[in-house]
Amino acid sequence: MDSISRRTAIAAALLACWPHARAIVVEGRDFAERIALAGSDLQLNGVGLRAVAWLKGYVAALYLTRKATTAADVARVNGPKRLRLYILEEATTDHFTRSFNNGIRRNSTPEELARLAERMAQFSRTIDQIGKVKKGDTIDLDFIPGAGLRFTINGVEHGKPVPGEDLYAALLRIFIGTKPVDAEMKIGLLGGPIG
């Protein structure tokens, strides 16, 4: 084994034993440091808590192929992405749909909205068919290259993936854009402290 191969093997062994390889626990939920998605290894970028006053709505975790500390960095990351939501309070999907649409409107230009409108409506119809999300549900909002935005609840896919990386970028701006749904959650998702 040459010196480069030996150093690579040593580095891989050290990473495998790194203390951060354990799951992060927030609100009693485990967030794995690494997951596999669409044939890629994703790492946990950050975790954030959505809360208003004393009410906690959900915990969100962002997984990317490499770490990113700003919204612009996240936009430049290629490959699959996952935004995982652990629901802490029951809510109707009507509320979820309104939040999705309002969040994209707040963080998109009129030109972007015109390009996204039909696909936003398609995704909203998929969400509306669920009826409600319950405390303890896990929602995965995945970007799958070549397929688009995939929506699953507790591991069960709903609807068909909605095409377009621009739609997924708009979805992420709800959480990490210039007008995020929760400023403290944005900090957490970008690798800062959990609010």
Angle between helices 93-106 and 165-176 in degrees, nearest 10: 90
Measured between alpha carbons, how far is 27 from 86 in angstroms, rounded to an integer? 9
Task: Give the type of residue at 120.
Answer: M
pLDDT by residue (tens digit) across 40-73? 999 999 999 987 655 688 999 999 999 999 999 9
What is the share, in percent, of the chain residues with pLDDT greater than 90?
A: 73
Q: CATH number of the domain at 20-189, please?
A: 3.50.70.10
pLDDT by residue (tens digit) across 13-46? 333 433 344 578 877 788 899 999 999 999 999 9
Q: Can you give the pTM of this predicted structure?
A: 0.85
Measured between alpha carbons, how far is 121 from 112 in angstroms, rounded to an integer? 14
- Short-list 45, 27, 150, CA closest to 89: 27
- DSSP state letters, 10-42: HHHHHHHH-GGGSPEEETTEEE-SEEEETTEEE
